[in-house]
Structure 1
Amino acid sequence: MRIEYNFAFFDEGSKREIRRATLKAVAIPGYQVPFASREMPIARGWGTGGLQLTLSLVGKEDILKVIDQGSDESVNAVNIKKLITKTTGIKVTDETSEATIIQSRHRIPEIPLQAGQILVLQVPLPEPLRYYEPSELETKKLHAEQEYSGAWLMLFEQIMNYGTMSTGADHPAMVHDRYVMAPSPIPRFDNPKLNHSQALILLGAGREKKVYAVPPYTRVESLAFEDFSFEVEGFKNKYCGLCGAKEVFLDEMLDDLTGETFYQCNDTSYCLQRLNQKSAG
């Protein structure tokens, strides 16, 4: 027996409810909007929040790109693409510039996003204050009062203990000079890409039932001190061993034959695009 799904899996009422929450999130940058997170054919914690946003927004003319930690071909990325394409029939691509909707886990693509594109980030923990305040009621009060001293204290303690801010990923950021936001577990390297991005950035947490947004051209500033500035991961004097790219986020790799380490672009489609350009040139 063949089972027929509605376009983009959800019924139209569910899609409207998620879109209403998304519109509110866009209207209040950085503010966490609760929504009725639906049951999905994938487990919570594997991108259900981002997937619900994508399914509620996708249209028949959209072109989809899905990446997981920089890779277009990881298990998570492939399965999400399969679900979306089987219920919509839309085109998929590995090219960042060609996509209208980009769903990502843990990375923002190296190629700058453009106006008209939507970046959907999968979020496991949307509350940036949860590290020191377990109560949801109290975190709501802290956001309402713009009381973020705990977040500053957390960064100060890192400096005192390690000599640097040790947030390897998900470094908190101030959005539109109002709300402190968890930017999802993207590396610090990607935080500056949020600031005045031309694309609409949506962040969805299915398990926590929250959605929030960074509208185009919105100011996003990573938390830092006047005498201890925010710094991204350093790849000085390092380059991709495949395409030669510099000033991109690199993965440290180990050569099984020689035992030597080398570096490779984390964004696999960006690396492949550079290689194709070199071979064509």
Structure 2
Amino acid sequence: MSVETNHHFAFFDEGSKKEIRRALLKAVAIPGYQVPFASREMPIARGWGTGGLQITLSIIGKNDTLKVIDQGADESVNAINIKKLVHVTTGVEITEHTNKASIIQSRHRIPEVPMTEEQILVLQVPAPEPLRNVEAKEHQTKILHAEEEYSGAWLMLFEQIMKYGRTSTGADHPVYVNNRYVMAPSPIPRFDNPKMYQSEALILLGAGREKKIYAVPPYTNVHSLAFEDYPFSVETFPGKSCRLCGAEDVFLDELQDSVTNETIYQCNDTSFCLERLNDSEKVEAEENYV
């Protein structure tokens, strides 16, 4: 597919990309800090990844290779359309292999394959403010961050423990970045939070609707909020493995077999699963993937 010539490279004009890159530089310089930016109108609806897409379009170059995933899948409607937009406006190579991508844009997951210094992870974020549930006013949350007043975030976790006997954040569990800012990691599962700690890859987070950009630079300390007597824990699948590739110690989807009505498990990260299989097994797995 050739690149169309009736628009700028990577869709945006150079002024728009420069403004977003300035916000990214500030975000990298102050890990976990939410940097306001002038979120542009996009040919996709807000709430469908416009924040992450704006970051990707602003940093991508002709020699980059892009991978886009949506909740672990490369072939969801959202992922496919984002890939099409970026490819049509840049002509860059698209891949489904994590280790071949220089830029990975993701919704709700960090890939199972460990990322490297040569890669950038762009996360789509619907709600960037970790204190929104305890303070509705934007100017007040800014004051709380400035004063490092995070008792509201701790109170949320305490109330969950009192009610359920444990913290009940299934996703988007708040993290403490560089011993300074409490940050929303995007709705990744708790399973993925530890991957942010001392990550070799640069992690950029964009919220288009909320007009915020923030970042976790490489080799930054990122700790999930937790009490000493109620330590942070991730989702576990004891004794379970992927029905297709047999992988263990990965994030699994719990599904219902339509024929036997039994509970089955398979890798949430589809490309990771398929890469573990040989060519003949891949064909069968692709046919059986739910």
Task: State the TM-score bracket (shorter-chain normalisation).
Answer: over 0.9
Is 2:163 the counterpart of 1:161? Answer: yes
Q: For the aligned residues, what is the CA RMSD?
A: 1.2
Structure 2 counterpart SS, 1:202: strand
User: Which letter does structure 2 place at the counterpart of 1:200?
Assistant: L
Task: Count residues in correspondence.
Answer: 279
| Distance of 1:236 and 1:123 partners within structure 2 | 30
Other-structure match for 1:137:
139
1:49-79: CA deviation from partner (whole Å, max 9, x where unpaired): 0000000000000000000000000000000
Mapped partners of 1:202, 1:50: distance in 2 = 8
SS of the residue corresponding to residue 226 of structure 2 reads: coil
Please state if 1:55 is matched with 2:83: no
Paired residues for 1:206-221 under 5 Å: 206-221=208-223
What do the CA deviations read for 1:100-147 (whole angstroms, capped 9, x no partner)? 000000000000001110000000000000011000000000000000
Distance 2:155 2:189 in 1: 21
Correspondence list, 1:169-184, <5 A? 169-184=171-186
Structure 2, gaps ≥5 residues long: 283-290
Q: Distance in 2 between matches of 1:55 and 1:5?
A: 13
Aligned AA for 2:102? T
Q: 1:279: Cα distance to partner? A: 5.5
Q: Which amino acid aligns with 2:195?
A: K
* Matched letter for residue 116 of structure 2: Q
- Of residues 266, 269, 272, the one that matches 2:271 is 269
Mapped to 2, the partners of 1:102 and 1:111 lie a distance apart of 12
Aligned to 1:68: 70
Q: State TM-score, norm by structure 1.
A: 0.98
Once the two structures are superposed, the pairs formed by residues 58-207 of structure 1 within 5 Å of their partners are 58-207=60-209
Aligned sequence identity (%): 73
Residues 278 and 110 of structure 1: CA distance in aligned 2, closer, same or farther (over 3 Å): farther
Displacement, 1:268?
0.2
**Which letter maps to 2:227?**
F
What TM-score does the superposition give when structure 2 sets the normalisation length? 0.95
> Quick one: distance in 1 between partners of 2:280 and 2:198?
31
Letter of the 2:20 partner, please give it.
Answer: I
Secondary structure of 1:66's counterpart equals strand
Which SS does the other structure have where 2:129 is aligned? coil
2:25 to 23, 26, 41: 23
Q: Which amino acid aligns with 1:246?
A: E
The superposition leaves residues 178-212 of structure 1 with CA deviations (integer Å, 9 ceiling, x where unpaired) of: 00000000000000000000000000000000000
